Amino acid sequence: MNTCTCAPELKEKEKQDGLKELKDFIKTGKQLHDKQGALMNVLHKVQEIFGYIPREAMDVVSEELCVPTAHIYGMATFYNFFSLKPKAKYQIYVCKGTACYVAGGARLLERIEDELKIKLGDVTPDGLFGLAITRCLGCCGLSPVVQVNDEVFVRLVPEKIPGILDKFRKMEKKTK
Amino acid sequence: MEKKIIYIRDTDSAQKERINDYFTLFSNELRDANLLEQVQLVKVADIGLYEKGVAVKIIPENIVYSGIKTTDVKEIVEETIRGGKIIKDLLCGKKSKQLRAVLKNCGYIDPESLEDYIAAGGYKALVKVLTEMKPEAVVEELKKSGLRGRGGAGYPTWMKWNFARGMNSPEKYVICNGDEGDPGAYMDRSVLEGDPHSVLEGMIIAGYTIGSTKGYFYIRAEYPLAVERVQKAIDQATSAGLLGNNILGSNFNFELEIRLGAGAFVCGEETSLIASIEGKRGTPHPRPPYPSVKGLWGKPTIINNVETLANIPLLIAGGGTKFASVGTEKSKGTKVFALTGKVKNSGLVEVPMGITLREIVYDIGGGIINNRDIKAIQTGGPSGGVIPQEFLDTPVDYENLGKLGSIMGSGGMIAIDDTDCLVDLAKFYLEFCVDESCGKCAPCRLGGYQLLQILKKISGGNGELEDLNRLKKISYAMQKASLCGLGQSASNPVFSTIRYFEEEYKRHIVDKKCPAGKCKALISFKVISEKCKKCGLCMKNCPANAITGSREAGYIVDSQKCIKCGVCFDVCKFKAVMKE
């Protein structure tokens, strides 16, 4: 039985196109001091292209920059911004900064977990929503806040959560 | 007549329409008075005022009128704009205790326009430095100003620069630390988004002073707008000849590049930040050697916080002595704080050093929500500590906050009232530090974890009195033995809460009660039958079906089923649900 809660893996063609784009990016990019100096920028690019850091991309980066894959794996797991799992279509970030915490951010998280029936760090089985926390979005004056992809919802109360989720579900239906 | 600007700002953001009405009114009046040529009317987001109603600020006289009505517009135009007289009745009552220096341009100028920045006096300092000052003179000016790093530790900026300047190396680097990871702090973001050129100017001056030709902006990837605007600013400055080769006709060359962070709090620490730029995991190195001796790629490097760099142009343009006229004996200038938590008006405030905490919370912040009592103020984020309300009259500077067991930090300031539990708060910060610890050194990696386990034990109702000693011992070991600032200061929240609120810990341990009603294991909910109006709202909303009863008999909470979510407490309109 498949118990994995990740979003569906990328299709083969998408992956090949992405890897080609990545190679071009590395070849045309400016070198910074030494080859390894470009690593952060390149990993950001990988994350941007694929939405996560697939193993195949690690190998490409390793060959192009002459850095061991083990080191790249180390980087990808060290920094919160990089992910080894595919992300959901709508990634929900609940702010757990201090201001949001004092204003009741934890209760928003509980409510979202209840509504989506997933735990922190997981993705819904349909790949639509993923749930993660973030340490401060810099909107402390408007706490508590939740960010869904690029959209930030401010001064939230748990009662507003179902409405927000519905909004994205409707948006998804429309695009289909 | 001198050219004037009227800034108009509606402080009630719910009424966006109103500001447009006033804008039209003002422009009509100005047209009738034939003053359109001399007066510029500008809508702004913020003029640092929190009073209700429409407010205008008239430049250059710096007159602020608040709570103006439509009928006042004519009078303002006639009396103040034409006649130059001040209308006392409209004058904003309190003189603002804020002093905007670093934030003076934020909200006033278009951050994407180089012309705006120059019109506001920008790049004057750079011209002054390049045409009439030697690097030694810049250091001397910094020394006179007494400027100290705004990132947290408060190290004198001139010393850092002087070390790097004295190093004999063909390659040197300037880094702007924009990895603002402190939860609850967002002043660097505002400066980068609202006035990016001021930071650029500070960096170019830094480059000239230490003899560097290359600078890096290290910005959090979580701040995409800041990244976009800084990139735009770099492009504009490059095409205007303010960056690149032979800047402003001098023989000084300097270029800037952005490097993105990737969500690691420890990268705010300077040696970790360097590792991150070099394409490594962001783990710190032991110091010395300090980065000013051996930094990025082994070359002398200075790393300054965004706010520190934004102070540089002001300081050079106005002179170090003038800069030093504001502040206390050892802490000069202004500091931006992110005032949040249980205050009525949360937001960024910029105040002169030496102002008291009470003035910040009550005069600027408007006091505590629902007029409750303040319990403490937390400053400095996860590396800082709490300051109880009896010390509210302490003047804010690096030394005083240090004496109280807290730190200035990057400037987060969180007001806490009696509904917040300090054991829970300490636990919250520890969770953060454990999560963000890079794992390189044992005191931080193991100590933080143990502290957190003990705190969890206490808030779970299983604490023993000996735990307090254990907390103190581990905290002390972490402070002394950790490799970098994160580990050394991770125990500060624990230390300072025990120092001032030991009673609250003991209540958790001995009485098994949480006075603030935050620690779930130690609270229970009860319906007070005398106050209960039997509306049934609590039963309807209970997610665990733990409330039973009927409209006739009243309701009771089954403590076995109760998951302590607090929904019943929140929905009851008659305060008939008790939390204890």
How far, CA to CA in Å, does B155 sit from each of B143, B217, B398? Answer: 12, 20, 10
- Residues B548 and B555 sit within 8 Å (Cβ to Cβ): yes
- Check residue A3 and give its pLDDT: 42
Chain A hits for B297, CB-CB cut-off 8 Å, are 33-34, 37
Taken in order of first residue, the domains within chain B and their CATH numbers are 4-90 (3.40.30.10), 114-323 (3.40.50.11540), 334-417 (3.10.20.600), 422-509 (1.20.1440.230), 524-579 (3.30.70.20)
- Cis status of the peptide bond prior to B288, with omega within 30 of 0: yes
Q: What is the DSSP code string of A69-92? A: HHHHHHHHHHSTT--SSPPPSEEE
Of all residues in chain A, what percent carry a pLDDT higher than 90?
23
- Residues A62 and A105 sit within 8 Å (Cβ to Cβ): no
Angle between the B196-210 and B157-166 helix axes, to the nearest 10 degrees? Answer: 40
Contact A80 B262 (CB under 8 A): yes
Give CA–CA dist A49/B104, Å, rounded: 39
Give CA–CA dist B383/B378, Å, rounded: 10
- Check residue B160 and give its pLDDT: 93
- Residues B281 and A75 sit within 8 Å (Cβ to Cβ): yes
* Tokens read off for A10: 């990328």
Please give, rounded to a whole number of angstroms, the shortest distance from the CA of B445 to a CA of chain A: 14
Interior/surface letters B475-514, b for 16+ CB within 10 angstroms, e for the rest: bebbbeebbbbbbbbbbbbbbbbbebbeebbebbbeeebb
A2, pLDDT greater than 60: no
Chain B hits for A96, CB-CB cut-off 8 Å, are 183, 432
DSSP H helices in B3-56: 16-32
Contact A40 B414 (CB under 8 A): no
Give CA–CA dist B274/B276, Å, rounded: 5
Sign of CA dihedral B68, B72, B74, B77: negative
With cut-offs at 50, 70 and 90, classify the pLDDT of residue A32: low
Contact A99 B432 (CB under 8 A): no
A83, pLDDT greater than 50: yes
Please give, rounded to a whole number of angstroms, the shortest distance from the CA of B263 to a CA of chain A: 5
Please give, rounded to a whole number of angstroms, the shortest distance from the CA of A20 to a CA of chain B: 22
Give CA–CA dist B498/B416, Å, rounded: 16
* Tokens read off for B238: 């490059």
* Tokens read off for B27: 């422009």
Is the backbone of residue B313 left (phi > 0), alpha (psi -120 to 50) or beta?
alpha
pLDDT digit string (tens) for B53-109? 677 878 777 777 877 788 888 888 888 888 777 777 777 655 568 888 888 888 788
Helix (H, G, I), strand (E, B) or coil at B508: helix
A30, pLDDT greater than 60: yes
DSSP-derived letter for residue B519 is -
Q: H or E element: which one contains B205?
A: helix B196-210
pTM score above 0.90: no
For the segment A121-146, the average pLDDT, to the nearest whole number, is: 84
Q: Which residue of A40, A48, A87, A115 is the best one to mutate when testing the B interface, meaning the one whose CB has the most B CBs within 10 A?
A: A40
Sign of CA dihedral B90, B93, B98, B99: positive
Query: In which residue are the tokens 């709202």 written?
Result: B537
Helix (H, G, I), strand (E, B) or coil at B107: coil
DSSP-derived letter for residue A149 is T
Chain A residue with Cα closest to B283: A78
Q: H or E element: which one contains B207?
A: helix B196-210
Chain B residue with Cα closest to A72: B280
Of B257, B340, B416, the CB nearest to A140: B340
Going by C-alpha positions, the residue among B449, B258, B550, B363 that lies closest to residue A30 is B258
Contact B221 A44 (CB under 8 A): yes
In angstroms, how far is the first alpha carbon of chain A from the final one?
Answer: 28
Q: Which CATH architecture has domain A90-175?
A: 3-Layer(aba) Sandwich (3.40)
Give CA–CA dist B3/B5, Å, rounded: 7
Which residues of A sit within 8 Å Cβ distance of B?
32-34, 36-41, 43-44, 67, 71, 74-75, 78-82, 96-103, 107, 110, 114, 134-141, 143
Question: Is B422 in the A-facing interface, judged by CB distances under 8 Å?
Answer: no
Instruction: State the count of interchain CB pairs (< 8 A) between A and B.
Output: 118
Contact B182 A44 (CB under 8 A): no
DSSP H helices in B78-123: 114-119
Chain A hits for B277, CB-CB cut-off 8 Å, are 37, 40
Spans of chain B, pLDDT less than 70: 1-2, 10-16, 45-53, 92-96
Give CA–CA dist B559/B521, Å, rounded: 11
Give CA–CA dist B473/B478, Å, rounded: 9
Distance of CA B278 to the CA centre of its chain: 28
Helix (H, G, I), strand (E, B) or coil at B290: coil
Contact A138 B565 (CB under 8 A): no
Contact B222 A38 (CB under 8 A): no
Contact A99 B279 (CB under 8 A): no
CB-based contacts of B428, cutoff 8 Å, min separation 6:
A98, A101
* Tokens read off for B46: 């913020």
- Residues B278 and B166 sit within 8 Å (Cβ to Cβ): no
pLDDT digit string (tens) for A58-73? 999 999 888 999 999 9
Cα-flanking dihedrals φ and ψ of residue B448, to 5°?
A: -60, -40
Please give, rounded to a whole number of angstroms, the shortest distance from the CA of A140 to a CA of chain B: 6
B293-297, long-range: CB < 8 A, 24+ apart: B293/B163, B293/B167, B295/B173, B295/B175, B295/B270, B296/B173, B296/B175, B296/B216, B297/A33, B297/A34, B297/A37, B297/B171, B297/B173
Domain locations in chain A as residue ranges: 12-78, 90-175
Question: Is B107 in the A-facing interface, judged by CB distances under 8 Å?
Answer: no
- Residues B190 and B389 sit within 8 Å (Cβ to Cβ): no
Contact B186 A67 (CB under 8 A): no
Helix (H, G, I), strand (E, B) or coil at B537: helix
